[in-house]
């Protein structure tokens, strides 16, 4: 997370780049289900859908959610990249219009199809909520106000409107003002920092909460904002890759410097950032595989048989204990079963 005062720049939307065509690796052909069932996990295409769907208790809930998030982001970015690759190829006008319509529908379904795992810049966000980055010029006056004023922000309508307040005093530094604003805005899921290089206040909010800012209002004491009524704020989102892509798909290339080849390269880089998450998940899956020798497995089986014989009908408690083992590391299970 960036400091409230930061000289760094947020990721800017893709601008004019070279027009060289990107080389995309061939997508492996999925194996039949019967072959995949008999193949070790390390040779399967990521993620291991078969094990997740048929053996849901093999992994814990958090790991299943992580696998699902990576799968959703990977599938959507791959589908979008393939669709844009088709547009980069010469084709007849009728086929091009059909492909444009299909790609537009794919972009419009981003949130629903990815479950929020791909943000507006088409960057994967499997471990964090997708964010909308925006400006609001009206509130920047609070950073340099020279009078004492109580500021009240509100979001929502009617009885569902939520209010937060803060005090701005002349002796507060820029850092102190940012801290006070973020403390209040945090209750509305808004966070901001001052970009020193651009001399701009940059704000972020989770994408699923972005629509609520259409009702974002503020009241002051007559200094920065009027005291006799609510001032409707007008947040302005920073131009993102999705907007440039929509302009490209509108088949009006003169309105955007983005080309189909550049869009493909952008998606390729986004898919590369998924490699780290995929490696993390694969590492967790590998750690959960028990490597037991024949003699060791036989001893554990005999020990389990003795436990079953001695439970005298208390299978419910024993079954619950066995189910808990699905969320424990193999070393812990081995230690518990061996009574070591």
pLDDT at residue 133, as a whole number: 94
- By three-state DSSP, how is residue 219 classified? strand
User: Are 75 and 113 members of one domain?
Assistant: yes
User: Are 57 and 189 members of one domain?
Assistant: no
User: Are 246 and 120 members of one domain?
Assistant: yes
pLDDT at residue 216, as a whole number: 95
Residue 4's φ and ψ, nearest 5 degrees, are -55, -25
Assigned domain for 333 exists: yes
Assigned domain for 4 exists: no
Assigned domain for 5 exists: no
User: Are 30 and 122 members of one domain?
Assistant: yes
pTM exceeds 0.75, yes or no = no
Rounded Cα gap, residues 137 and 119, in angstroms:
24
User: Are 100 and 149 members of one domain?
Assistant: no
User: Are 116 and 263 members of one domain?
Assistant: yes
pLDDT at residue 309, as a whole number: 73
pLDDT at residue 254, as a whole number: 62
User: Are 120 and 251 members of one domain?
Assistant: yes
Assigned domain for 261 exists: yes
Assigned domain for 7 exists: no
pLDDT at residue 334, as a whole number: 63
**Residue reference for tokens 């490209």:** 248
User: Are 210 and 146 members of one domain?
Assistant: yes
Assigned domain for 8 exists: no
Number of domains in the chain: 3
Assigned domain for 323 exists: yes
Domain that holds residue 26: 15-128+242-286
CATH number, position 150 = 2.60.40
Strands (E), the chain: 5-6, 131-135, 149-155, 162-168, 191-195, 200-206, 217-219, 231-232, 236-237
Q: For every one of its 340 residues, what pLDDT tens digit does the chain have, with 9 covering 90 and above?
A: 455 655 544 454 444 444 444 444 444 444 443 444 444 444 444 444 444 444 444 556 777 777 888 888 989 999 999 998 888 888 888 888 898 899 999 999 999 988 889 999 999 988 888 999 999 999 999 999 889 999 999 999 888 889 999 999 999 999 999 999 999 999 999 999 999 888 889 999 999 999 999 999 999 998 899 999 899 999 999 989 998 888 888 866 566 678 888 889 999 898 888 877 777 777 776 766 556 667 777 887 788 777 777 766 666 676 777 666 666 666 666 666 655 4
User: Are 224 and 119 members of one domain?
Assistant: no
What Å distances lie between residue 305 and 27, 298, 310, 319, CA to CA? 47, 11, 9, 13
User: Are 195 and 227 members of one domain?
Assistant: yes
Give the residue from 213, 234, 255 where a domain finishes: 234
Assigned domain for 2 exists: no
pLDDT at residue 302, as a whole number: 82
User: Are 122 and 23 members of one domain?
Assistant: yes
Non-local CB neighbours of 214 within 8 Å, separated by 6+ positions: none
Give the residue from 234, 250, 269 where a domain finishes: 234
User: Are 121 and 251 members of one domain?
Assistant: yes
Is residue 16 packed enough to be buried (19+ CB in 10 Å), middle (13-18) or exposed (0-12)? exposed
């Amino acid at each position: 997370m960036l400091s409230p005062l930061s000289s760094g720049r947020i990721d800017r939307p893709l601008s004019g780049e070279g027009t060289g065509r990107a080389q995309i690796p061939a997508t492996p052909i999925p194996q039949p289900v019967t072959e995949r069932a008999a193949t070790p996990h390390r040779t399967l295409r990521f993620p291991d859908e078969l094990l997740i769907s048929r053996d849901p208790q093999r992994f814990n809930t958090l790991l299943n959610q992580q696998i699902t998030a990576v799968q959703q982001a990977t599938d959507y970015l791959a589908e979008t990249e393939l669709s844009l690759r088709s547009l980069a190829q010469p084709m007849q006008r009728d086929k091009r219009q059909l492909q444009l319509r299909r790609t537009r529908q794919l972009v419009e379904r981003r949130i629903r199809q990815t479950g929020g795992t791909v943000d507006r810049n088409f960057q994967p966000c499997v471990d964090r909520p997708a964010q909308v980055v925006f400006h609001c010029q009206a509130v920047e006056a609070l950073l340099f106000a020279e009078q004492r004023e109580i500021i009240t922000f509100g979001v929502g309508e009617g009885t569902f409107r939520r209010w937060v307040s803060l005090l701005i005093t002349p002796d507060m530094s820029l850092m102190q003002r940012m801290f006070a604003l973020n403390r209040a805005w945090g209750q509305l899921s808004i966070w901001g920092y001052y970009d020193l290089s651009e001399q701009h206040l940059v704000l972020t909010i989770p994408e699923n909460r972005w629509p609520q800012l259409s009702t974002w209002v503020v009241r002051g004491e007559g200094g920065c904002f009027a005291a006799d009524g609510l001032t409707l704020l007008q947040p302005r989102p920073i131009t993102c890759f999705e907007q440039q892509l929509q302009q490209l798909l509108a088949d009006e290339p003169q309105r955007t410097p983005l080309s189909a080849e550049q869009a493909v390269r952008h998606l390729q880089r986004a898919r590369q950032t998924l490699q780290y998450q995929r490696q993390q998940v694969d590492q967790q899956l590998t750690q959960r595989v028990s490597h037991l020798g024949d003699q060791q497995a036989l001893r554990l089986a005999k020990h389990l048989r003795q436990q079953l014989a001695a439970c005298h009908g208390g299978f419910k408690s024993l079954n619950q204990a066995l189910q808990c083992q699905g969320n424990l590391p193999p070393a812990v299970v081995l230690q518990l079963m061996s009574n070591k």
